[in-house]
A = this chain, B = another copy of it.
Amino acid sequence: MNKTIETILQHRSIRSFTDQRLTEEEIRVLVESAQSASTSSYIQAYSIIGVTDQSKKRELAALAGNQPYVEKNGHLFVFCADLYRHDKIAGNKGEDVKASLEGTETFMVSVIDAALAAQNMAIAAESMGLGICYIGGIRNDLEKVAEILKTPEYVLPLFGFVVGHPANPSSKKPRLPFEHIYHENTYNVDEGDFQKHLTAYDETISSYYENRTNGKRADKWTEQITQNLKEPKRTYMHRFVKEKGFNKR
């Protein structure tokens, strides 16, 4: 196994960082790593906003659910789906491409583009010995995020991303069994396999929590998932993305 795959397989989210800021050079390497990811038909439909202003970081931390690591980290990035430049470019050439930009297809393209870039940044950061954590919590209030970061039309903040020097170790969370994620030739809907995989996985997860909490927790994954999905979250999203110009048709 090579060093890169070791880094990938050792991933765990880090939620506690030292005060050490990333250097300009580190930020540049991370952003250039992000930019090297594949991009659909060369569209490059994303932007990355680095947040260094401490009051902005505090506001973002508050709306993301008061997670202290959103405020205290080596650097905070916000990844955005971005079609602003495409709209402008076409407009400058006298073309109206809104019908394209506003489609669900282009929405998917821009979200995928941004995510591929972010994951390149994650691996680059971890290969440098830094820790990372995605901050989906900023989607609690994207209206506010857009205000704080002054994003224009056709820009949709998707998630935050913190990087820094880890202060505390954390442990790798086991993933669903290979057989449950990976199908061959057709999607396997066999009930028996389904239950077998999930029963085994629930046991893995229970022991994982038991070990980590000295027996205080023994949650099963299927219970966590059901619990999390009971109440629809962020129901404003359907409206909001349209208001920003995405996913309208």
Contacts and interface: CB of A to CB of B under 8 A. Distances in A.
Contacts of A84: 187, 189
Contact of A108 (B2, B44, B95, B158): B158
A237 B116 contact: no
Interface of A: 1-5, 7-11, 13, 27-29, 31-38, 40-44, 46-53, 56, 80, 84-86, 88-90, 92-93, 95, 97, 99-101, 103-106, 108-109, 111-112, 115-116, 118-120, 122-124, 127-128, 132-134, 136, 139, 149-152, 155, 158-159, 173, 175-176, 178, 180-187, 189, 194, 198, 221-226, 228-235, 237-238, 241, 247, 249
B86 A187 contact: no
A149 B40 CA distance: 23
- Complex copy number for this chain: 2
A237 B107 CA distance: 10
Given A9-B32, A40-B134, A44-B175, A105 B152 contact: no
Contacts of A151: 187
A45 to B, nearest CB: 10
Nearest to A53: B185
